[in-house]
């Protein structure tokens, strides 16, 4: 009679969507198990390898702005479904699901606030809402904020994270590229400063428009910044890409960024920059 049975268990790599569970989280950079509270207290930056995990969009408000100075704009603006688009499910259902998941009306938060007493305009994209995709509402809110900042003589800060233009809105999404770039161009011509903070990932039509149209372009360490992703490029050119291709440090070395800044140093960096222009 066998009292014991030897069983083989197969381990598997934890997927990103399963990485944060219970009281512990697995770092997506070095795969070290970390207490969730410790990671949160460190601004969602791994204490072992320095990997910058995504943070909730509204946490950027607390991270960058002076307390109790944020005044949100265009709060009630929501996307509609002009094309009645359907893929695996209707676009209207995707919007409802994203609003429930992200607890936001769309993929960007805009408004006015202060940084070290300096009045600025700020736009923060939310990756939880349909991958931070840029639809009509995202483009309209960013364009309105930029135009208001030009009128009110405020510098502009854009925190970008996006999978690109929202295909469910077709050309209505793509036209936001020209609209936002036009607004930022007028803002720059007025002598005001605009700064982009690119986080992981910033890709597609967002990268090809307002996210890289500002006076200064800052990125977080290790962020993927691209128009087409590395897999698409490799399949197109049928060549292996260089190590770290399209990551912040690679782009900085090739002159496409002005600086790479750690998350815990971002506010201090903005304060120093604004002192040079005022």
Q: Within a domain: residue 231?
A: yes
d(CA 156, CA 150): 9
CA 122, chain centre distance (Å): 13
7 band by pLDDT with thresholds 50, 70 and 90 = very low
pLDDT tens sequence across 146-194: 999 999 999 999 999 999 999 999 999 999 999 999 999 999 999 999 9
Which comes out higher in pLDDT, residue 22 or 183? 183
Q: Within a domain: residue 2?
A: no
Number of folded domains that form the chain: 2
214 band by pLDDT with thresholds 50, 70 and 90 = very high
Q: Is the dihedral of CA 231, 233, 239, 244 positive or negative?
A: negative
Q: Encoding tokens for residue 137?
A: 């509402």
C-alpha torsion angle, residues 92, 106, 179, 89 (rounded to 10): -20
Q: Within a domain: residue 191?
A: yes
Q: Within a domain: residue 170?
A: yes
Do 149 and 193 meet the contact criterion of CB atoms below 8 Å apart? no
* Residue 250, pLDDT score: 96
d(CA 246, CA 203): 10
**CA atoms in the 13 A half-sphere facing the CB of 152:** 16
Residues 208 and 254 occupy one common structural domain: yes
Domain of 18?
A: 11-53
In the DSSP assignment, the letter for residue 256 is S
Query: What does the pLDDT average to over 122-141?
Result: 97
Q: Is the pLDDT of residue 71 over 50?
A: yes
Q: Within a domain: residue 157?
A: yes
Q: Within a domain: residue 125?
A: yes
């Amino acid at each position: 009679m066998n009292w014991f049975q030897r069983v083989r268990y197969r381990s598997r790599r934890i997927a990103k969507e399963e990485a944060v569970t219970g009281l512990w989280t697995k770092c997506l950079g070095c795969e070290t198990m970390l207490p969730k509270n410790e990671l949160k207290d460190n601004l969602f930056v791994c204490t072992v390898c320095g990997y910058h995990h995504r943070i909730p969009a509204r946490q950027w408000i607390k991270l960058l702005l002076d307390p109790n100075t944020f005044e949100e704009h265009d709060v009630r603006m929501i996307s509609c479904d002009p094309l009645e688009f359907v893929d695996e499910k209707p676009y209207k259902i995707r919007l409802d699901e994203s609003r429930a998941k992200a607890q936001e009306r769309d993929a960007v938060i805009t408004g006015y606030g202060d940084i070290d007493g300096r009045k600025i305009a700020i736009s923060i994209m939310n990756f939880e809402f349909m991958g931070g995709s840029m639809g009509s509402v995202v483009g309209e809110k960013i364009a309105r904020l930029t135009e208001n900042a030009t009128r009110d003589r405020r510098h502009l800060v854009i925190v970008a994270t996006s999978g690109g233009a929202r295909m469910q809105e077709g050309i209505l999404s793509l036209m936001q590229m020209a609209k936002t770039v036009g607004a930022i161009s007028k803002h720059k011509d007025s002598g005001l400063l605009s700064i982009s903070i690119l986080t992981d990932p910033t890709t597609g039509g967002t990268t090809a428009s307002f996210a890289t149209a500002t006076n200064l372009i800052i990125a977080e360490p290790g962020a993927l910044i691209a128009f087409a992703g590395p897999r698409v490029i490799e399949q197109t050119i049928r060549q292996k890409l260089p190590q770290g291709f399209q990551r912040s440090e690679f782009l900085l070395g090739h002159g496409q960024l002005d600086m790479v800044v750690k998350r815990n140093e971002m506010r201090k960096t903005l304060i120093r920059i604004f002192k040079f222009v005022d």
